């Protein structure tokens, strides 16, 4: 566990602090390899399947990241992360990071992997593992393909809302919640990258609270969540508030990034996108 945790930290730090595409890619690979044993720890067929799915998608996405940076280096002769200028490589990079994050329409692996892994690993998957790709988005935000990002963001919020409706498995619902939040981050990152980071930090904070609460009351299904009120009333009340905050209910913290993002989108004359994303997140 110590080795895997330090590798996770190392991979994340390496990607975030790198300036060269190859070191960023190496960090992403270290991260993927470190989380795999954590997913498949229980030796349940479901966990092994989740680990395999995770590995295949992440390997494909990493290969695309490398491919896009190579295309850019081929045309411009530089490997600097912030100097991504070639349109094709921008397009490929946007898709690659979308696959890494689990943005719709590349989201199918994420709920399955979350369902197959334990709660603590699920927490790592939906917070720490999202940080390196989001930091790459942050560093390349000026050269991303905006049309593609906006389309993917709206599809993500729609799917995150709709697919979570008839679920009974809590980890799957949280996975769809993650997809929906990623939509909010993706729509704003070309215009105001710092807002997207703020959104991610607050999302990570609230998700951590939810996962740790569920871990302490040993809950995996909605049916077992119904009976927790009798056992731990205070914790249940806090969980309710955290979930409402995650949904973005106005007086709570989760509303703040949404409000700021809607404000920024209206400044950019994207009223229609702002309206759609707000309505879809009500789901």
Mean pLDDT of the residues in the chain: 95
- Whether the per-residue pLDDT at 173 is higher than 90: the answer is yes
Q: Can you read off the two tokens belonging to residue 149? A: 């990002």
Position 194 scores a pLDDT of: 96
Position 283 scores a pLDDT of: 86
Confidence of residue 38 (pLDDT cuts 50, 70, 90): very high
The pTM score is 0.94
DSSP per residue over the chain, as a string? -HHHHHHHHHHHHHHHH--BHHHHHHHHHHHHHHHHHHHGGG--HHHHHHHHHHHHHHHHHHHHHHHHHHHHHHHHS--BGGG---HHHHHHHHHHHHHHHT-TTS-THHHHHHHHS-HHHHHHHHTGGGHHHHHHHHHTGGGS-HHHHHHHHHHHHHHHHHHTTT--BHHHHHHHHHHHHHHHHHHHTTT-HHHHHHHHHHHHHHHHHHHHHHHHTT--BHHHHTTHHHH-HHHHHHHHHHHHHHHT-TTSTTHHHHHHHHHHHHHTT-HHHHHHHHHHHT-
* Other residues' Cβ atoms within 10 Å of the Cβ of residue 84: 25
Position 180 scores a pLDDT of: 96
154 phi-psi bin (left φ>0, alpha ψ -120 to 50, beta other): alpha
Write the pLDDT tens digit of every residue in 85-140.
999 999 999 999 999 999 999 999 999 999 999 999 999 999 999 999 999 999 99
User: What are the CA-CA distances from residue 169 to residues 115, 153, 165, 222 (Å)?
Assistant: 8, 24, 11, 6
* Other residues' Cβ atoms within 10 Å of the Cβ of residue 193: 20
What integer is the mean pLDDT of 169-178?
96
Question: Within its chain, how far is the Cα of 53 from the centroid?
Answer: 16
For a pLDDT cut of 90, what percent of the chain falls above it? 95
Q: Under a CB-based contact definition with an 8 Å cutoff, are residues 58 and 100 in contact?
A: yes
Write the pLDDT tens digit of every residue in 203-225.
999 999 999 999 999 999 999 99
Write the pLDDT tens digit of every residue in 26-36.
999 999 999 99
Write the pLDDT tens digit of every residue in 55-87.
999 999 999 999 999 999 999 999 999 999 999
């Amino acid at each position: 566990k110590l080795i895997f945790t330090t590798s996770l930290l190392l991979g994340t730090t390496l990607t975030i602090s790198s300036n060269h595409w190859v070191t960023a890619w190496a960090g992403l690979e270290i991260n993927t390899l470190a989380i795999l044993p954590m997913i498949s720890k229980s030796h349940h067929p479901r966990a092994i399947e989740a680990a395999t799915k995770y590995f295949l998608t992440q390997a494909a996405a990493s290969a695309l990241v490398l491919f896009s940076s190579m295309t850019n280096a081929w045309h411009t002769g530089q490997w600097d992360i912030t100097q991504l200028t070639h349109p094709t490589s921008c397009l490929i990079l946007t898709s690659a990071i979308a696959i890494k994050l689990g943005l719709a329409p590349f989201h199918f692996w994420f709920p399955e992997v979350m369902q197959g892994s334990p709660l603590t690993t699920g927490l790592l998957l939906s917070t720490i593992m999202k940080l390196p790709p989001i930091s790459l988005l942050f560093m390349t935000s000026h050269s991303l393909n905006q049309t593609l990002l906006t389309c993917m963001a709206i599809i993500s919020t729609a799917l995150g809302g709709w697919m979570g409706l008839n679920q009974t498995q809590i980890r799957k619902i949280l996975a769809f919640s993650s997809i929906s939040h990623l939509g909010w981050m993706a729509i704003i990152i070309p215009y105001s990258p710092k807002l997207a980071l703020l959104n991610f930090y607050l999302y990570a904070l609230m998700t951590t609270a939810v996962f740790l609460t569920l871990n302490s009351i040993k809950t995996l299904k909605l049916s077992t969540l119904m009976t927790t009120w009798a056992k731990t009333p205070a914790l249940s009340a806090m969980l309710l508030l955290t979930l409402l905050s995650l949904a973005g209910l106005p007086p709570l913290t989760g509303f703040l990034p949404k409000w700021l993002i809607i404000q920024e989108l209206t400044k950019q004359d994207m009223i229609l996108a702002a309206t759609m994303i707000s309505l879809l997140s009500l789901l």
